Amino acid sequence: MTQRTQSRLALEEAVTRDDYVAARVALFRVLYGAFLSSSLQVCNQALGRAARAVDGGRSPWIAELLEDPIAWATQRGRVMGPLPAEETPAQVALRTSLEALITATDFLHDSAVVARAFCVAIAAGIEAQADMHVGNEAEARAVRKREWLAIAQDLRQEHLADVPDADPNAVEAALGAWRIDEYLLRLSTPA
């Protein structure tokens, strides 16, 4: 069994425990060094579901961005289309997911940054959908579980387990750097 398959199974197991930090780590291990087209497809499927749930098609530019993020970034850079002046928590999370996707396009040569950006995009997209249920934690939990399990299914459909494993030392070094970066970001956030 490949490391990627083991990581996908670890993602599924983490979801059964509602451990979404472990799910993100497992997702990173699957995506790191995988074929860009397959990883991008998984990310776009997740963000498409989030955009439909949160935006409902009111912002056509989102569909255009998701259609071909690399072309979008080539033509427009990091500029996104108009967003509501007053954003709900779900809209903020959706914007974060789209920004992370665009960030990935700036670093296509760097497997670690691409994997991080896709993980952030996917996790923020899932949280955007969960944030649609503020005040109903049971429904938000159900949305998280459903969407993370959909990610596991998307990974299976893209046959990422068939992709040769990346060097495990490189994967763990990149994962460690991501954890340090997130810790430093938390430290720099004003209270």
Question: What DSSP assignment string belongs to 90-103?
Answer: HHHHHHHHHHHHHH
pLDDT beyond 90 at 123? yes
What secondary structure letter does DSSP report for 17?
A: T
- What pLDDT score was predicted for residue 181? 67
Convert the pLDDT of each residue in 55-112 to its tens digit: 988 899 999 999 999 999 999 988 898 877 778 999 999 999 999 999 999 999 999 9
In this predicted model, which residue has the larger pLDDT, 19 or 186?
A: 19
pLDDT beyond 80 at 157? yes
Range among 91-95, 159-163, 180-184 rated most confident: 91-95
What secondary structure letter does DSSP report for 55?
A: T
pLDDT beyond 50 at 141? yes
Q: Which of 10-24, 128-142, 149-163 has the lowest mean pLDDT?
A: 149-163
Predicted confidence band at 115 (pLDDT cuts at 50, 70, 90)?
Answer: very high
Question: How many folded domains does the chain comprise?
Answer: 1
C-alpha distances out from residue 171 to 23, 28, 84, 124, 129, Å: 15, 8, 38, 22, 29
Terminal alpha carbon distance of the chain: 45
Q: What percent of the chain has pLDDT over 70?
A: 94
pLDDT beyond 50 at 188? no
Q: SS3 breakdown of the chain: % helix, strand, coil, rounded to 5? A: 75, 0, 25
How far apart (Å, rounded) are the C-alpha atoms in residues 35 and 29?
13
pTM: 0.91
Q: For 170-187, what is the mean pLDDT?
A: 74
Which of 120, 68, 77 is closest to 96 using CA atoms? 120
| Domain of 104, in residue numbers | 3-188
Task: Indicate the residue type of 166.
Answer: A
Is 84 exposed, middle or buried (CB count within 10 Å of its CB: 0-12, 13-18, 19+)?
exposed
Task: Indicate the residue type of 164.
Answer: P
Mean pLDDT of the chain: 90
How far apart (Å, rounded) are the C-alpha atoms in residues 180 and 157?
32
How far apart (Å, rounded) are the C-alpha atoms in residues 23 and 58?
31
C-alpha distances out from residue 157 to 38, 39, 42, Å: 9, 11, 9
- What pLDDT score was predicted for residue 160? 79
Q: For 131-154, what is the mean pLDDT?
A: 95
Contacts with 49 (C-beta within 8 Å, 6 or more apart), sequence order? 125, 129, 147, 150
